[in-house]
Structure 1
Amino acid sequence: MVKVAVFSQFQKKKPLASLEVLLDVLKKQNIEVVVEANFYKGVTSKIKKEFATFSELDHSYDFLVSIGGDGTILRAITLVRDLNIPIVGINTGRLGFLATIQHEDIEAAIHSILEKKYSISERSLLTIESSEKNAEIESCNFALNEIAVSRKNTTSMITVETELNGEYLTSYWSDGLIISTPTGSTGYSLSCGGPVITPNASSLVLTPIAPHNLSARPLVIEDSTTITLKVSGREKKHLVSLDSRIATLSNKTTITIKKAPFTIKMIVLNNETFLDTLRKKLLWGEDKRN
């Protein structure tokens, strides 16, 4: 029997409507459904049937369905980790580069998945180590979109001393620095002027946040590169974010960032492509002259 995990962060009207459709479709196909425990606790009074719940995943699941936006998928990967469970996203958010299935397409999408009419897009991740022990980082030290350092409790800029494979690159005088995967290139990095990178490219991009040294520009590097950072500034501490998770580190802490030894598997339906998603989400070609 096929076993499916269902995850969401929201108990709002739109995600709940998609949840109800999804559960009906899965029930008709006689699929074992297990709902993430915290989400189920919030919606148990709003859905008619009882379902098993999970707090942690294991290898017994065939795939995970995320209901929400891309941020929900970023949370889902902290559950999937290195288990190689494919993820598919139902979009109830805004842009949705990762969560691409719309509400009205749920039934058709699930049928396509059960009929194996999809491909797997393997997405690289970043890992982080720091010379200062930090519980938030050590409990979940990887990110799918980006790892960023930024200022804390100050309006003053920080200096981010940066080395690539042990060789000094530069010291960014800025509000911070983003190290982004190809998946994250359409997120925070893009809004700071970084390039769009196709998901299968073996690259990372370093994008400074509001740099005051105006010659500093986003830099694309090989994803085999080891990146070492040290932050200094007027305040004694700075922030480190891993996707949407935030930790605080002391200045002069050595931060080491590199490609993770595992990937996240995203389900891509046969009628979807990254370039098609770019045109839809970023409105490329939306010009009267076209």
Structure 2
Amino acid sequence: MRIAIFGKQFDPAFDEYCLALFRHLSLTGAGICIYKPFYEFVSGIPSIKLNPDSVFKDHADLPECDMLFSIGGDGTFLDAVTIVRDRPIPIVGINSGRLGFLADVSKDELPSALNDIFEGHYKVRQLDLLKLDTHIPAFGELDFALNEFAVAKRDSSSMITIHANLNGDYLNSYWADGLIIATATGSTAYSLSVGGPIMHPASKNLIINPIAPHNLTVRPLVVPNDFDLTLRVESRGGSYLVSLDSRSCILEESIELKIRKADFSVSVIERNGKTFYSTLRSKLMWGADRRN
């Protein structure tokens, strides 16, 4: 088995868990290829000695492997998606911090999780993504998002107006600070923080969720994820902010935005007994009551 390792810098409190991870991989005889910046960071930790088979720098440089371990938080997991892209490499999210929906393997359960994975006690689940089309290469090759697409005003004063069409039919003109288009996976991210619903990751839907709308009757809307959404933005400043997950850029209001389901999905590892419902209970503290 060959494992790719992707990650970012972490706090010293995670050193011993990272060491345990690499020791476990060594004991299984797994081949290791590691993201170069992460390798350089880990090499500076005295207790960790690594001798990987190879290093990689980006998507084009990533060798063939059986799965990729993302070490960090959900932001690191989203960056790992930009490394894997459309390749059939399942991602395992190992959380080196606190809260994490995508990076759902906590440091305390790391030994048992590794045993489950190497013993084959898991299934591979596919997650849908969004794709942004514009007449200019706003995001280059990284024109997709796992969690959400968002458009927002650039300053702290005036709202923007977002004219939205679904499958060619006029939907609404949102007077708001912005608009979020979230996948089912992204329903527990940015969209949730502005009052959006939680959707099961297997749901084939999108959430259209305004940010601080001027009309309080405008609420989040759930639509099938094979619908095409077209947005045209008006702003007093003539420009606005657009983001795909953690990547953002500034666009002029003359640019039309087309959002649709991406042509590929991302593979993730789901361990047996680890369900979306158990993640909700753990991460959102559902059922955390002295009486339980």
TM-score normalised to the size of structure 2?
0.94
Aligned AA (2:123): S
Matching residue of 1:164:
166
Task: Check whether the contact 2:230–2:259 (CA below 8 A) recurs between aligned residues.
Answer: yes
In structure 2, distance between residues paired with 1:53 and 1:265: 22
Matching residue of 1:48:
49
Report deviation, 1:70.
1.0
In structure 1, distance between residues paired with 2:155 and 2:107: 41
Partner SS state of residue 108, structure 2: helix
What does the per-residue CA deviation read over 1:22-45, in whole Å, with 9 as the maximum and x for residues that have no partner? Answer: 110000111101110111122222
Matches within 5 A, 1:1-290: 2-46=1-45, 47-51=48-52, 52-57=54-59, 58=62, 60-134=64-138, 137-288=139-290
In structure 2, stretches of 5+ residues that fail to align are none
Partner SS state of residue 140, structure 2: helix
Report deviation, 1:93.
2.2
Partner SS state of residue 77, structure 1: helix
What does the per-residue CA deviation read over 1:16-66, in whole Å, with 9 as the maximum and x for residues that have no partner? Answer: 333211110000111101110111122222232332211135461100001
Aligned AA (1:200): A
What does the per-residue CA deviation read over 1:116-164, in whole Å, with 9 as the maximum and x for residues that have no partner? Answer: 1001121100000113342xx1230000000000011342110011000
In structure 2, distance between residues paired with 1:15 and 1:70: 16
In structure 1, distance between residues paired with 2:110 and 2:281: 21
What does the per-residue CA deviation read over 1:90-128, in whole Å, with 9 as the maximum and x for residues that have no partner? Answer: 112222111111213222212211211001121100000
Partner SS state of residue 103, structure 1: coil
Task: Check whether the contact 2:10–2:96 (CA below 8 A) recurs between aligned residues.
Answer: no
Give identity over the alignment, percent.
Answer: 43
Task: Check whether the contact 1:174–1:208 (CA below 8 A) recurs between aligned residues.
Answer: yes
In structure 1, stretches of 5+ residues that fail to align are none
In structure 2, distance between residues paired with 1:248 and 1:21: 43
Partner SS state of residue 58, structure 2: coil
Partner SS state of residue 109, structure 2: helix
Partner SS state of residue 260, structure 2: strand
In structure 1, distance between residues paired with 2:137 and 2:106: 42
| Misfit runs of 4+, over 6 Å | none
Task: Check whether the contact 1:194–1:218 (CA below 8 A) recurs between aligned residues.
Answer: yes
In structure 2, distance between residues paired with 1:170 and 1:190: 21
In structure 2, distance between residues paired with 1:122 and 1:133: 27
In structure 1, distance between residues paired with 2:13 and 2:260: 37
Partner SS state of residue 184, structure 1: helix
Task: Give the root-mean-square deviation of aligned CA atoms.
Answer: 1.5
Report deviation, 1:195.
0.2
Report deviation, 1:15.
4.0
TM-score normalised to the size of structure 1?
0.95
Aligned residues: 287
Aligned AA (1:61): C
Change beyond 3 A, Cα 1:158–1:44: same
Report deviation, 1:11.
4.0
In structure 2, distance between residues paired with 1:87 and 1:239: 29
Aligned AA (1:254): E
Task: Check whether the contact 2:10–2:72 (CA below 8 A) recurs between aligned residues.
Answer: no
